[in-house]
Chains A and B, each alone.
Chain A
Amino acid sequence: MKGRPESLSQEVEQRPVVLKIDELTHFFASLRAVHDFSVTIKQGELVGLIGPNGAGKTTVFNVLTGVYTPTRGSIRYNDVELTNLPSHEIIQMGVARTFQTIRLFSDLTVLDNVRIAYHRHAGYGLVDSILRLPRFYEKEAEMTEQAQEFLAIFGLEERQNDIAGGLPYGLQRRLEIARALATRPRLLLLDEPAAGMNPQEIDELMELIRFIRDRFSLTIFLVEHRMRLVMNICEWITVMDFGEIIAQGTPENVRNDPGVIEAYLGRQAAT
């Protein structure tokens, strides 16, 4: 789409491209959910995707993570084509995501939720676990310790043996992010992380998102509904409506874009 404005620092321009989506189009039967969606995300950026309900934001994420195969278009992650790959292979390449509605493994403990995301790095096989060889104990302890470190970062350490489904809502959200990070991603997709949160929790969440980006040197692409969060933390914003991009730019540019105000902000300001 449009080139970046001069105001963005040269430094960001020179970083390698992590994700490049080109003319992505997805149909549900004859309904065009996403049309000619293109976006380029560079390493370390925090990019927001906003738009009214039903604009196709979550569909973009679902296509990105292999839940749907797109009708047309290409998605290149670190120069590897992701379309047609099954989800788990995409995740194993270093993409992780959270969900709009919380999808924890709710009958399992908090710790197990994180350890499941670590599965790929377990470092022991079936034989080790069935025969309970020393390697099993060693790697399992290592894995548990790493998972506990993650929980500590998210303030969930005390709750490690609680059943995940019994946690308060805010903590479940945190656990979901912790679990996504445990897959050791380079690119994190957050699908409406602030859904159902009160203003204070949103402030904490913004802190957390900035913190994890720096701590794990992530690139973050987030879908959000809440303008406050997006305007505050994103460096670059893409606005969608009816499956199409209607504006792209820095938060200031987007805030003042007449098309966006009409499609989105105007309506929200009126209510």
Chain B
Amino acid sequence: MQQLRKSNVYFIVGALALFVVIQVFLSVRIGGEPIINNYWRGIIFWGAAITIVSLGLNLIFGFNGQFSLGQYGFYAIGAYVSADITYRYVRGDMSALIVVIGGSILTLLLMWGVSLLLKRFYGVHVTTLFVSNLLATVLGFWLAVRLLVPLLGPVVSTLLQALPPGLAQQIVFFFALLGGAAVAGIVSFLFGIPVLELGSDYLGIATLGFAIIVFVLLNNSDTLLPFPEMKGARGMVGIPQWTTWPWVFFSLLLVILVMRNFLYSSTGRSIISVREDERAAELMGIDVGRAKILAFVLGSVFAGLGGGLRGHDMAFLHPSMFNVIQSLNPFIIVVFGGVGSMTGTILTGFGWIIFLEGVLRLYLPDGFENWRFVIYPMILVLMMLLRPEGLLGKYEIGFLRQRLPKPRMKSSEAGEEAAA
């Protein structure tokens, strides 16, 4: 196996220490109030959720070079899907859990079948790809509703009732987060097939269109969609508040690890090469379409996960949380922290929420709280003027940096080069 690097040790120790410290501050009470009170707890969880979403966008925009404004659409999908699962579960209804998880698995299997089938042909057209995958999705979820719910419904509910309630809750929450992320991933895959063919600005508009569609559908989820429990523009209340610090922390850690390991692999390099020069990448034998979809889906899965965490912390979801102005937030965070820097996104993601919703909201004089929405754009303007490459540029801390291979022992060619 590989030797442990110093920077890896520092990172792991630092992360665990942070985890323990925050957990202690959340549980130790002084005078009946935890050291980190509910308000700041919400801020930290919010910061983590936004960081996860922004890391996803950085993968799409910073590393793959695709200008996407639709990240909040996937965030919203993740939030609502996972909230629906737990909302129904606490009311004794397993259908959402079974439909989302079973439907996602069936859809992925069907999509896999489709890809095996299409592999036999050279030069498959985008339309064929899109229609066949759309059919796979519709069929997968239709089967889940018609077959899996009546078949598995009683089994799942007996199984979950047999478990201790605390454990059952954690299991359901796990699957709710997974389901939100999976649905966000499937939708982004379907949406990405036709749209990622577009060049940068066109893609931006198309993805903005997607965010608007999601917003409008959620605003009318009780009338346009068959989900009365989402209550449309009145906002979804009654979501269990299940998000805890370990869930938040380990989700964020997972996202960081997956993203790092993904980027510093051959597939990750192929994704970065698309950012550098799409035509050249294609002519190095890289399937550019596949690389773009991969980054887009993975980024959206992160967004879906972030949504699930946020929804179960707020215990309330409203479509206005996902409107067009809000949907620019991850974009601002990515650009502010440094396009193509994971460290920058993590710092800015937390910093943004802590500064904007924590510090400014609490410490601006009474009646001036809303000036924070003037202060932060001013900072953005200054930032773009003074440091357009973002706070950290492309800097990464040691753990998140690519390990550069050592040169081989000097060969005769290398010797000549040095002599010349």
* In the complex, chain B residues 91-126 whose Cβ is within 8 Å of any chain A Cβ: 122-123
In the complex, are the beta carbons of B407 and A118 less than 8 A apart? Answer: no
| Residues on A with beta carbons closer than 8 Å to the beta carbon of B2 | 132, 137
Contact with A105, one of B1, B273, B407, B411 (Cβ below 8 angstroms): B273
The total of interchain contacts (Cβ-Cβ below 8 angstroms) comes to 133
- Whether a CB of chain A sits under 8 angstroms from the CB of B417 is yes
In the complex, are the beta carbons of A117 and B285 less than 8 A apart? Answer: yes
A124–B1 CA distance with the chains assembled, in angstroms: 16
Contact with B261, one of A85, A129, A157, A158 (Cβ below 8 angstroms): A129
In the complex, are the beta carbons of A157 and B284 less than 8 A apart? Answer: no
A204–B38 CA distance with the chains assembled, in angstroms: 71
* In the complex, chain A residues 65-124 whose Cβ is within 8 Å of any chain B Cβ: 65, 67, 84-89, 91-92, 96-97, 99, 103-109, 111-112, 115-120, 122, 124
| Residues on A with beta carbons closer than 8 Å to the beta carbon of B417 | 155, 157-158
Contact mask B262-284 → A, CB, 8 Å, 1/0? Answer: 10111111101100110111111
A192–B131 CA distance with the chains assembled, in angstroms: 42
A86–B258 CA distance with the chains assembled, in angstroms: 30
- Whether a CB of chain B sits under 8 angstroms from the CB of A269 is no
A51 to chain B, nearest CB (A): 22
In the complex, are the beta carbons of A119 and B418 less than 8 A apart? Answer: no
| Residues on A with beta carbons closer than 8 Å to the beta carbon of B272 | 105, 108
A128–B266 CA distance with the chains assembled, in angstroms: 11
In the complex, are the beta carbons of A89 and B122 less than 8 A apart? Answer: yes
In the complex, are the beta carbons of B283 and A160 less than 8 A apart? Answer: no
- Whether a CB of chain B sits under 8 angstroms from the CB of A261 is no
In the complex, are the beta carbons of A183 and B284 less than 8 A apart? Answer: yes
| Residues on A with beta carbons closer than 8 Å to the beta carbon of B283 | 65, 67, 87-88, 91, 96-97, 99
Which of chain A's residues has its CB closest to B270's CB?
A: A119
| Residues on A with beta carbons closer than 8 Å to the beta carbon of B414 | 152, 155, 157-158
Which of chain A's residues has its CB closest to B340's CB?
A: A107
Contact with A129, one of B122, B268, B277, B284 (Cβ below 8 angstroms): B268
| Residues on B with beta carbons closer than 8 Å to the beta carbon of A161 | 404-405, 407
| Residues on A with beta carbons closer than 8 Å to the beta carbon of B269 | 108, 112, 115-116, 119
- Interface size class for chain A? 35 or more
In the complex, are the beta carbons of A88 and B268 less than 8 A apart? Answer: no
- Whether a CB of chain A sits under 8 angstroms from the CB of B288 is yes
B58 to chain A, nearest CB (A): 15
- Whether a CB of chain A sits under 8 angstroms from the CB of B416 is yes
In the complex, are the beta carbons of A134 and B416 less than 8 A apart? Answer: no
Q: Which of A4-12, A140-148, A230-238 contacts B (4 or more CB under 8 A)?
A: A140-148
In the complex, are the beta carbons of A116 and B273 less than 8 A apart? Answer: yes
- Whether a CB of chain B sits under 8 angstroms from the CB of A37 is no
B250 to chain A, nearest CB (A): 16
In the complex, are the beta carbons of B266 and A140 less than 8 A apart? Answer: yes
B224 to chain A, nearest CB (A): 36
- Candidate in A96, A107, A116, A137 with the most chain B CB atoms within 10 angstroms: A116
* In the complex, chain B residues 7-26 whose Cβ is within 8 Å of any chain A Cβ: none
In the complex, are the beta carbons of B281 and A116 less than 8 A apart? Answer: yes
Can you report 26 residue pairs joining A to B where beta carbons are below 8 Å apart?
A: A85-B122, A88-B287, A91-B283, A105-B277, A107-B394, A108-B276, A109-B404, A115-B266, A116-B269, A118-B266, A119-B266, A119-B270, A119-B286, A124-B266, A126-B265, A130-B258, A137-B1, A140-B265, A152-B408, A152-B411, A152-B414, A153-B413, A158-B407, A160-B405, A160-B407, A183-B284
With A104-B276, A116-B270, A160-B407 given, name 5 new contacts (CB 8 A): A85-B122, A87-B283, A119-B285, A140-B266, A158-B417
Q: Which residues of B contact A (CB under 8 A)?
A: 1-2, 122-123, 258, 261-262, 264-270, 272-273, 276-277, 279-288, 294, 394, 404-405, 407-408, 411, 413-414, 416-418
